[in-house]
Amino acid sequence: MTSRTDADERPLDLALAGLHLRTGSLGLARAELEAMAGAGVLDSDGLADLAEARWRTGDLAGAGDAARAHLGGDGSSLVALVVAAEAMAALGRAAEARSLATRAIERLDGRLDEIFAGMPRSPIWPADRHDETPASEEPGVEAVAPAEGEFEPAASDADRALDSARAALDAGDLAGAAIQLAVAVRLAPLLAPAVLELAAGHRSPGLDLVRGDALLALGRESEAQRAWADAAEGARG
């Protein structure tokens, strides 16, 4: 990895990719950044850019990987914190998501809407008021206080559904797991990556059906159609 010491010293290809990202050429920016990631030449800011490019093009899981790599290398990008928080929320890891959200809100100088710019937002965030930060009930315990109008109960129900799905899979109850995963992805579409991860390696018409729902939530329509076709074929079975 290269390190960035001065904006003028940053390699031209990295600077151009960052420019493309910030001017809305998301596909081009991602292609450039992915190529540089494959070549191992991304600097810390490049990892943050890659996280944002993946996030804004619908790859939340990959975006989370890049964001964590940036933050793990002592990076401090606000967007990377937001992406990492969203990725943790999607995996059902609420405590980690809220901790990252707290760090992001503490650094925020503006509105959350300016960061998300229309991207889906999980319920871990407070209402978009500049003076509001995630609340802590006890010293040393980080949590986000649900703002008026947020769907915290639904998020909790989705987390419980994921836990029930794990237990059902451990018990070999594929039908029960499919129902719980379907509930989770409908209550919290951002949990789609976690739903796919749990369903991976298990096959049943019900699981194929919910796999399709999760893929559709991620914008992967052609894969969703194939999963639904598998469900229909399996049900005819």
End-to-end distance of the chain based on CA atoms, in angstroms? 52
Burial of 44 (0-12, 13-18, 19+ CB in 10 A): buried
For 100-124, the pLDDT digits (tens) are: 999 999 988 888 888 888 888 888 8
Query: Which of 116, 144, 165 finishes a domain?
Result: 116
Q: In terms of domains, do 108 and 160 share one?
A: no
Range of 75's domain? 7-116
Domain stop point among 72, 98, 116: 116
Report the number of distinct structural domains present in the chain: 2
Rounded to an integer, what distance in angstroms lies between the CA atom of residue 184 and that of residue 110?
A: 32
CA distance to 60, 205, 212, 214, per residue, from 80 (Å): 12, 37, 29, 24
pTM for this entry: 0.53
* Within-domain flag for 47: yes
Cα(198)–Cα(92) distance, rounded to whole angstroms?
11
**86 pLDDT higher than 70:** yes
Residue 55 lies in a domain: yes
Based on the fold, state whether residues 221 and 158 are members of the same structural domain.
yes
Task: Kindly write down the DSSP assignment for every residue of 28-57, as one continuous string.
Answer: HHHHHHHHHHHHT---HHHHHHHHHHHHHT
179 inside domain? yes
pLDDT tens-digit readout, 189-231: 777 888 898 888 888 988 998 888 888 887 788 888 888 888 8
